[in-house]
Structure 1
C-alpha cells in the first residue's frame, strides 16, 4: 500500500501538468449579478459565470434563510432563462434575509461566488406603468397644456396599500437632444405647459415602490401640438384691430371729403326758432304807426332786430 502511494501521487501530478498544458483548470469565480422581485411575491436571481477552465462546468445556486440552518438548492433554473434561479410564491418570504451563493464545478475543481444577502422587500423593481395616453387641452384662459395620464403596472397591488408607488415622466420634442424629467409623486396624471406649437413630443413613464428600484422606462408615446391652439385667440384680436382701424379711416375720409370740421361734426349748430307765416316787416310797420300816434318821432337808427 505504501509502495503504491508515490506512484499515485506521481500520476496525479502528471495529470495536473497535462491538464494545465492543455489549458484546463478549475472554474473561475462566478458573480451574482442581480436579484429582482416585480411584486414582493416572487423573485429571480441572475449570475455571471466565471471562466469554465476549458471543461464542462456545472452551476448551482444554494440559499439559506435567516434563522435556519438548512441549505436549499434553487427550485427553478428554467423560468427566468440561462444563469438564473426563479423563486415562486411557494419559496418567497418577505421580511426574511436570504443568503445566496452560486457554485461552479468541473473536473478540475470548484469555486463559489461571494454570498449575497437579499431581503425581498428591498429588491422590488416593478414593471413600467401602462396605458399611457396623451391629449392637448386648454384652460379657461385659452392657455395650452399637455395632459398625460397612465395606469399602475398590472401585477402591482396598489389599491390595498400593499404597494405605495411613485412615478416619473420624461418628455422631449422631436428637435431636442435631452429629456425633460418630472417627478409626479403618487399621481397617475400630469400637466405640462410651455409647449412649442407645431412640434412633436415624445413621452415615457416609469415607477418605483416605497422600497426598491425604478422600473425601466415604459413604451414611448408621441403627440403633435397643433398650431391653431395658440394662434386662434391671437388671430381673432388681430382681425378685430384691423377692422377697427379700417372703420376709423373710412370715417375720417368721409369727414374730409365733405369739408366739415371735426368740431362741426361733433357739435353741430342749434337752429333758431322759426314760426311759419310770421313776417317781421309787418311787425316793424305796426310799431312805427304806434310811435307816430303817440307824438314822438322814431329814432332813425333803430331797427327791428
Structure 2
C-alpha cells in the first residue's frame, strides 16, 4: 500500500515537474530520499527541455552506484518520465543515477543519494546530575543505532517554565543559571530523525538529591615531626558543593603497588579545610593517598577520586646501641 501511494505521488510530481522542467534540465524525484532499511522505493527521472530535443523517456537507463539496474525494474510514465523501483534496499548509502542513450555516447542526466536506516527507539534510563553553579547534565540510553542523523531534545519543565537542550548525542546539559538548586523538574527526552520520532517516559527529579561535587583537592600528605608511623592528610572542601550542604569523604591509601586500604565516611561538615591523621603505618615508607566526597543530605552521587598525593613517614630511631666503625688508612709518608 505504501509503495502504491508513493508511486502515485511520484507520478503526480513527475507530471508537475515536467511543466517546471521544460525550460530547465533533467532531475530525479525525490531528491536525497531516506527510507526504512529493507524497504523499497520508486524514483522518477524527468527529462528537461535540452534532452527532449533528441530523446524521450524510453532512452533512459538507471544505475545504482556503478551497477546497472535491470530493465525489468523500469517503467515509462510518459515521454518525459521514467520510473525505477529499487527493492529491499539494505545498504546504508548509495548513489542512484539516471542516464540517457544519446546519439553517440551515454550521458549522465542526474543523480541522487539514497540512504536507509531506522526510526529512533524510545530513550531509556535517563540519569541526571547537578553540578552547583555550573550545569545540570542528563544522559540516556538511545536504543539501537539508527544509521541516520538523529537529534535529541532534552526538555526540562516545571510550572510556568520550560527549557529545551538540543543534542546529537545521548547527553545534554543546561548551564547555570538556567537551573535552580532544590527545584523539582519534569524531564523528557525526544528523539527525531528523517523516519520518525520517539519520546521517553517522563522522569521527575529534584536537584537537591542529584548534587555531585568535584573531587577534593589534596593539599599535603606529610609526617608530623616527632610522630612515628603517622602521616597527616590535609584537603580542601570540594568545589561544586552548595554552601548550605555538609560533606563527608572516603579516604584510601596504600604503599606503592599494593592494595588500597579504605577509610569510609570521614565527616567534614561545612569546613573549608580539614586534616586527618593516618596512624599505624610503616616507618620510612612512601604512601599514596586519594579521596572522594559526597554531600550528606541524601545525595546519591560520589565525586570522582582525587589525583593521588604521596608522603613518606619518618625514619624510626634505633632501639639499641649502634656499633660505630672507623677505617684509618696509612699514607705513603707514614702519616695517618
TM-score category (smaller protein): 0.5 to 0.7
Asked if the contact 2:120–2:150 (Cα under 8 Å) also holds between the matched residues in 1, the reply is: yes
Q: Give the aligned partner of residue 285 of structure 1.
A: none
Show the counterpart of 1:127: 214
1:201 maps to 287
The 5 A counterparts of 1:88-167 are: 88-138=175-225, 142-158=227-243, 162-167=244-249
Q: Distance in 2 between matches of 1:60 and 1:201?
A: 47
| Alpha-carbon distance between aligned partners in 2 of 1:53 and 1:11, rounded to the nearest angstrom | 28
Closer, same or farther in 2 for the Cα pair 1:197/1:143, shift >3 Å?
closer
Displacement over 6 Å in runs of 4+: 9-12
Q: For the structure 1 residues 42 and 108, does the alpha-carbon distance in structure 2 shift closer, same or farther, using more than 3 Å as the test?
A: closer
Is contact 1:74-1:85 (8 Å) kept? no
Structure 1 residues 197 and 29, CA gap change in structure 2 (3 angstroms): same
Return closer, same or farther for 1:73/1:52 CA change in 2, 3 Å cut-off. farther
Aligned to 1:38: 131
Specify whether residues 145 and 58 from structure 1 end up closer, same or farther in structure 2 by C-alpha distance, changes over 3 A only.
same
Distance 1:144 1:138 in 2: 11
The 5-angstrom pairing of residues 178-197 of structure 1 reads 178-186=260-268, 188-197=274-283
Whole-angstrom CA distance in 2 between matches of 1:21 and 1:174: 61
Name which one, 1 or 2, has greater alpha-carbon Rg.
1
Q: CA deviation at 1:178?
A: 3.3
3-state secondary structure, aligned to 2:197:
strand
Q: What corresponds to 1:8 in structure 2?
A: 5
Q: 1:152-181 CA distances to partner (integer Å, 9 max, x unpaired)?
A: 1244354xxx12111221101114223333
- Partners of 2:4 and 2:242 in 1: CA distance: 67
Question: Offset at 1:108?
Answer: 1.9
- Do structure 1's residue 221 and structure 2's residue 221 form an aligned pair? no
Consecutive unaligned residues in structure 1, runs of 5 or more:
244-305
TM-score (norm 2): 0.56
User: Whose strand proportion is higher, 1 or 2?
Assistant: 2
Deviation at 1:28, TM superposition (A): 2.1
Secondary structure, in 3 states, of the residue corresponding to 1:204? strand
Shift of 1:144: 3.2
Q: Could you say which residue in structure 1 is the equivalent of 2:149?
A: 56
Contact 1:149-1:190 at 8 Å conserved across structures:
yes
The alignment of Structure 1 onto Structure 2 pairs a total of residues equal to 220
Q: Secondary structure at the match of 1:100?
A: strand
Task: Please tell me whether the aligned partners of residues 146 and 192 of structure 1 are also in contact (alpha carbons under 8 angstroms).
Answer: yes
1: CA distance, partners of 2:8 / 2:291 = 64
Q: Measure, in 2, the Cα distance between the counterparts of 1:146 and 1:6.
A: 77
Q: Which moved more, 1:99-108 or 1:15-24?
A: 15-24
The structure in which a higher percent of residues are helix is 1
Provide, for residues 117-140 of structure 1, a one-character-per-residue CA deviation record: whole Å limited to 9, x for no partner. Answer: 11111100000111431111255x
- Check conservation: 1:29, 1:51, Cα contact below 8 A: no
Matched residues in 2 for 1:72 and 1:52: separation?
Answer: 29
Matched, 1:22 2:89: yes
